[in-house]
């Protein structure tokens, strides 16, 4: 489906056509402070400047007292207004930028406001879109879970008995969630050398990536209550981002038993800067992977198309700034999930856990079934097995990430509806 035409020039291959309209936080070199914004092609609409100049005057469903949300330095206040308001604003912006806009006086014929609020994207810097108070990472990518289980156990016991009964997850570290482009330091930690019974301390030698989708919440629920599936849980979703759950496999393996991920995961998680709303992804709903287990009632979904078919890819760039060489090492659909985000939310709150606006949920690594659909180096190189090195441009190989390597995730649901980039460079060992 072709995106609607705009009076503003939008490149045909842009992730940010009028069919999308995601939200983020920017800083412009020509203005002070952080401010909400929307990317449109190669421009961004500064929502603070747009709002201050009366840009939302014709949006009658948006009360004046709500305009203060665009003065905020995060999207939390806007997100808290709820999905209906988000979608009303999104559709209004689509109209304002439409070639046949019903409000040409707002922006199309207003050169003064264009100059103040419509900024070249390259003159702005992306910031973390929300204040993330809590972060939970799930393990909903069935193929990744099975592949990893086969590496550490055997195919018959690859998945734990509970895996198809509930969305498995762990609580991550919100303070180390960073926006795309932020350098990632190689972590140090305790590592058990092969054949040894005693750990050593040192930098991770098995630094990895994990290709995930992230979901940001727009709803809070009081402690002792839950967000129900087929209603509350869906309405709790503000939007989606790409996510790289950077992982240290050698630190993780030593510490993993008995309580799961800790220092092997908490040193950095990268998300893409623009939050893509559910309304933009609605046309790309598909069925998730089949789960033959009879689920308990609170996890039973009324509809089947509860995940999205987003084309995800991983590029690995090596060689530094002087001689960069990029290889696309994976392409996979985000539909390779056993659990949907509404199911994750329903399960997360089932025991009375309070969620908050801005909370981040990760899908877990998304992998397909073929060799070029794997979402981690762990799977691609079979845990660093000899002879299973990843082949890169220029006859280079990798088992794990080296300092200077750059991992870039991209995602596109359809024509003009994408996520931009989720990228990070490994810059060397963390200070100790």
Q: Which residues are annotated as a binding site for Mg(2+)?
A: 245, 265, 269
Q: Return d(Cα 70, Cα 35) in angstroms, integer.
A: 7
DSSP letter, residue 428: E
Strand 417-429: give its sheet, edge to edge: 184-186, 417-429, 406-414, 311-318, 325-333
Euclidean distance between CA atoms 411 and 311, whole angstroms: 5
Question: Could you give the CA distance from residue 421 to residue 274 in angstroms, rounded to a whole number?
Answer: 9
Is residue 428 within 8 A of residue 268, CB to CB? The reply is no
> Do residues 38 and 21 lie in contact, with contact meaning Cβ atoms separated by under 8 Å?
yes
- Binding site: what residues are annotated? 137, 139, 153, 210, 212, 245, 252, 256, 265, 269, 365
Find, among 258, 338, 238, the residue nearest to 292 by Cα: 338
Q: Which residues are the active-site residues?
A: 144
Token pair 């969630």 is found at: 177
Residue positions forming the annotated binding site for Ca(2+): 137, 210, 212, 245
Q: Which residues contact 394 (CB under 8 A, 6 or more apart)?
A: 319, 325
Of 52, 187, 36, 250, the closest CA to residue 126 belongs to: 36
Annotated binding-site residues for substrate read 139, 153, 252, 256, 365
Q: How far apart are CA 66 and CA 234, in angstroms?
A: 23
Q: Dig out the tokens for 398 from the structure.
A: 């990798």
């Amino acid at each position: 489906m072709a995106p609607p035409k705009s009076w503003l020039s939008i490149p045909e291959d842009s992730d940010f056509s009028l069919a999308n309209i995601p939200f983020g936080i920017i800083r412009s070199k020509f203005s002070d402070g952080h401010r909400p914004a929307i990317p449109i092609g190669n421009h961004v609409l500064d929502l603070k400047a747009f709002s201050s100049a009366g840009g939302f005057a014709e949006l009658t469903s948006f009360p004046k007292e709500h305009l203060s949300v665009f003065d905020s330095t995060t999207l939390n206040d806007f997100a808290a207004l709820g999905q209906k308001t988000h979608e009303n604003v999104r559709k209004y912006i689509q109209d304002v930028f439409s070639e046949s806009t019903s409000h040409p006086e707002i922006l199309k014929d207003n050169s003064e406001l264009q100059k103040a609020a419509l900024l070249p994207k390259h003159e702005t810097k992306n910031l973390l879109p929300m204040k993330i108070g809590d972060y939970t990472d799930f393990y909903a990518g069935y193929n990744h879970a099975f592949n990893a289980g086969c590496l550490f156990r055997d195919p018959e016991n690859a998945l734990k008995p509970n895996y198809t009964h509930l969305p498995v997850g762990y609580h991550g570290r919100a303070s180390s969630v960073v926006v795309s482009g932020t350098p990632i330091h190689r972590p140090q930690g305790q590592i058990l050398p092969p054949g040894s019974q005693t750990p050593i301390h040192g930098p991770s030698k098995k630094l990895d990536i994990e290709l995930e989708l992230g979901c940001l919440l727009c709803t809070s629920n009081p402690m002792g209550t839950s967000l129900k599936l087929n209603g509350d849980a869906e309405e709790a979703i503000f939007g989606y981002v790409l996510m790289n759950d950077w992982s240290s496999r050698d630190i993780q393996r030593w510490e993993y038993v008995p309580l799961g991920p800790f220092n092997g995961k908490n040193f950095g998680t990268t998300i893409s800067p623009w939050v893509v709303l559910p309304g933009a992804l609605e046309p790309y709903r598909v069925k998730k992977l089949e789960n033959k287990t009879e689920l308990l009632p609170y996890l039973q979904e009324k509809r089947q198309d509860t995940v999205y078919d987003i084309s995800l890819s991983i590029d690995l760039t090596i060689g530094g700034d002087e001689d960069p060489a990029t290889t696309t090492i994976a392409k996979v659909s985000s539909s390779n999930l056993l659990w949907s985000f509404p199911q994750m939310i329903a399960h997360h709150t089932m025991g009375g856990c309070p969620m908050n606006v801005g909370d981040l949920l990760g899908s877990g690594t998304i992998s397909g079934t073929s060799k070029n659909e794997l979402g981690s180096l762990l799977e691609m190189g079979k845990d660093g097995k000899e002879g299973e090195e990843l082949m890169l441009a220029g006859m280079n190989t990798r088992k794990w990430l080296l300092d200077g390597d750059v991992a870039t995730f991209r995602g596109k649901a359809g024509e003009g509806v994408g996520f931009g980039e989720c990228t990070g460079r490994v810059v060397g060992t963390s200070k100790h």
